[in-house]
Structure 1
Amino acid sequence: MPRSSGGRSKTAPLRIRVGCALAFAFFFAGALAASEPIVYGTIETQTAAGPLRGFWAKVHLDAPGIHVGATEPLTPAAGDPAGTEVKLLPVNQWAQANGATLAINASFFAMINPKPGPGEDKVRYTTGAASDIRGLSKGEHGLVSPARVMGGRGDPALLVYADHARAAYATDADLADVRCAVAGIGPSDDGKQPGTLLVEAGRNLGATARVAPKVRHPRTAAGVSADGKTLILLTVEGRQPGYSVGATLPEMADLIIELGARDAVALDGGGSTSFFFKRADGSLITNKPSDGEWRPVGNHLGVWVRWPEAAATLTQKKQP
């Protein structure tokens, strides 16, 4: 498995718990078996700053019955402020409303004309708030938000096709045959923050990815295996002393490389970091958002197990 170019971050060995969507198995590293279209697990490790916990999932993109999608274009409504691209919605509500098996938060976003609530001195993220996606976002039914292009290079993005994916710098011109796309954030306007991919060709680029790469925060990332057939989703908890202190972006890069990613992108994090997984028995595996509740976010990335296509490939086993 590839290592980062700068060596591993100073964390203890990972303790990884593993399961499988609809079929549980002791499985970590290497290619996914056809009978295991979604494999998930948790990460527990120790850093110099304290404990670090997270959730991950691997999706076999060419397995029968697997479908990946993202937030679709908004139907305009009277009264929407100028620049409205999405309406905020928590990941768990989006997943349940759309029947997704697995979902995470995705791109960075900004509310339009945010105002504090009555008697409050700060702005809250509220469900339904009109917002702008910062960079590329595409659903199956069209473009939600165009890519930013800075210095001739597009956003660091996750591009999902019918049976494979890639993480790469992308502009709107790169979207032919792309089923859905979400993105991290590229260079700052002043050029002082590079805004690179999190991982490129197996190299840890966390130090130059955005945002605040050296600071521990809750984090979300998406990566792709070398053959493009495995999508890797990773969230790390943070801002919760004694439970999880969060990760730097170099640490996130190390973790997702360990999970098998050759290329990866850092998505929105902080209070936005969300992980939702619905198991075969209907029980839920979710993260513990740092806000104390699910934050409404701008867009979402989801995975569906479609029946009956997947039924023939899945066997029920006991969870370890």
Structure 2
Amino acid sequence: MRPIIVCNTIVNRISVAMVLVALYVVGCAKPTPPAAALSTPTPTPTPTPTPTQNPAATATTTTSPALPYQVERFNLPGPMAGVFAKVDLSNARVATKIVLTDDRDPDGDGPCVGQLDMTSAAARKNDFVITMNASFFEAPTVRDIMDKKVRYYIGNCTWPVGWHVSSGKVVSKPKGSKMRAALLVANDGTVSIRDNVAEIPPATRYAVSGNALVLKSGRPTSTDENGTRHPRSVVGLSEDGKSMLLVAVDGRQEGYSRGASMKELGELMLKLGAYHAVNLDGGGSTALVIKDLRTGTFGVANQPSETSTEGFPVRMERPVADVVGITLAPLDRK
């Protein structure tokens, strides 16, 4: 397959302001002949894709014999569309990490342990070749007066819901008696998925909670035929533990992808080759970021459901608390 080429789809408030100024100037100027396209175009709103369109117009799927992972798109009846990355965990070049997107603690002894940032920002900061948003999280929010949606902003203080262990340090743990399913990485690099994790094993280097298993021992856990469809982020493992799947299901976009119910998510993970799978934070948080190894750039490979707060139909990442990331050591360090 062709190499993946990804682009950054984040449009921040400053970029939007620049576009508005440019539009005002153009509107007041006299018409001029069209100019040749620039090599680096100004960011513009991303149109809602149709069923036949690629959700990220500059991205294509890829796999290479030299790489221990592959990235592919899927488009299923429903419609249900998205992107998944399949990683060969048995390859010595591969390592799995779980980190806060921004570990600067803004409130000391308060509830926050870090600050919200984009999945793509965490990917760049840690040089992950594959990155996906991870845990559900809490954060002070601003509720948009017009559409009543909760808005999260870069720099909001935050704390993960459930377990978060990074580099052997327990950053967050479940509150009360509610135990959650979790993704764990041992000191030796072994990755596992467990249900109802009450205590973190002593040899754990990384861990993050989801809300539930959608696939357990090769069987979907939900039988609800009428479950609500949403965008989903999910991690799965093969039965032998040698392959990991990071899957972003797009949703809330009529004509392209409605999302997946928990039952459909379990069935999808089974079809993709998973034996166990845990559901992570989805909805507007769902983002799968891929590094282009040729250019060194990072971009969101799926089509997030979060939209701009400026009234434009721009789809963008939502800031999140933490991510699951894959690093790839150089060939000479195997």
* TM-score, length basis structure 2: 0.71
- Partner in structure 2 of residue 255 of structure 1: 268
Counterpart among 221, 234, 254 of residue 247 in structure 2: 234
- Partner in structure 1 of residue 43 of structure 2: none
- Partner in structure 2 of residue 97 of structure 1: 125
**Match of 1:217, as an amino acid?**
H
Q: Say whether residues 1:133 and 2:160 are aligned partners.
A: yes
**Larger Rg computed on CA atoms:** 2
Unaligned runs of 5+ in 2: 1-59, 307-314
- Partner in structure 1 of residue 181 of structure 2: 156
**Match of 1:164, as an amino acid?**
T
Which stretch of the first structure deviates more once superposed, 243-252 or 169-178? 169-178
Displacement of 1:99: 0.9
CA deviations on 1:187-208 (whole Å, 9 max, x unpaired) are: xxxxxxxxx4111101101348
- Partner in structure 2 of residue 19 of structure 1: 62
Q: Distance in 2 between matches of 1:287 and 1:266?
A: 17
Displacement of 1:275: 0.6
Q: Distance in 1 between matches of 2:148 and 2:265?
A: 33
CA deviations on 1:292-317 (whole Å, 9 max, x unpaired) are: 1110011111001111347x8xxxxx
The alpha-carbon distance between structure 1 residues 82 and 221, as it changes in their structure 2 partners (threshold 3 A), is same
Structure 1 vs Structure 2 CA RMSD: 2.7
Q: Distance in 2 between matches of 1:101 and 1:142?
A: 24
* TM-score, length basis structure 1: 0.74
**Match of 2:82, as an amino acid?**
G
Q: Distance in 2 between matches of 1:148 and 1:201?
A: 27
Displacement of 1:101: 0.6
Q: Distance in 1 between matches of 2:149 and 2:132?
A: 26
Q: Distance in 1 between matches of 2:230 and 2:149?
A: 20
Counterpart among 205, 208, 219 of residue 221 in structure 2: 205
Unaligned runs of 5+ in 1: 1-16, 25-34, 186-195, 313-320
Q: Secondary structure at the match of 1:59?
A: strand
Q: Say whether residues 1:44 and 2:75 are aligned partners.
A: yes
Q: Distance in 2 between matches of 1:245 and 1:118?
A: 26
Counterpart among 303, 306, 319 of residue 288 in structure 1: 303
Q: Secondary structure at the match of 2:213?
A: coil
Q: Distance in 2 between matches of 1:149 and 1:258?
A: 35
Displacement of 1:241: 0.7
Q: Say whether residues 1:275 and 2:288 are aligned partners.
A: yes
Q: Distance in 2 between matches of 1:242 and 1:133?
A: 33
Counterpart among 190, 197, 201 of residue 175 in structure 1: 201
**Match of 2:92, as an amino acid?**
P
Q: Secondary structure at the match of 1:150?
A: coil
**Match of 1:74, as an amino acid?**
D
- Partner in structure 2 of residue 244 of structure 1: 257
- Partner in structure 1 of residue 113 of structure 2: 85
Q: Paired residues, what number? A: 263
CA deviations on 1:36-81 (whole Å, 9 max, x unpaired) are: 411221111112xxx211111111112021111111493434x458
Displacement of 1:255: 0.9
The alpha-carbon distance between structure 1 residues 75 and 150, as it changes in their structure 2 partners (threshold 3 A), is same
Runs of 4 or more above 6 Å deviation: 117-121
The answer to whether the 8 A contact 1:160-1:181 is kept is yes
Identity, % of aligned pairs? 29
Q: Distance in 1 between matches of 2:243 and 2:108?
A: 38
- Partner in structure 2 of residue 192 of structure 1: none
The answer to whether the 8 A contact 2:180-2:195 is kept is yes
Q: Distance in 2 between matches of 1:141 and 1:75?
A: 18
- Partner in structure 1 of residue 324 of structure 2: 301
